[in-house]
Amino acid sequence: MTEHVVRPTTYYAIFAILLIFTGVTAGVAFIDLGPLNTFVALTIAVIKATLVILYFMHLRYSTKLTWIFVSAGVFWFLILMAFLFADVLSRGWLPPGVGWGATG
Per CB under 8 A, residues contacting other proteins are 1-3, 5-6, 8, 11-12, 15, 18-19, 22-23, 25-26, 29-33, 37-38, 41-42, 44-45, 48-49, 52-53, 55-58, 62-63, 65-66, 69-70, 72-74, 76-77, 80-81, 84-85, 88-89
From CA 79, how far away is CA 71, in angstroms rounded? 12
Q: Closest approach of Cβ 55 to other proteins, in Å?
A: 8
Contact partners, residue 11, CB within 8 Å, separation at least 6: 55, 56
Residue 104 CA to residue 87 CA, distance in Å, equals: 26
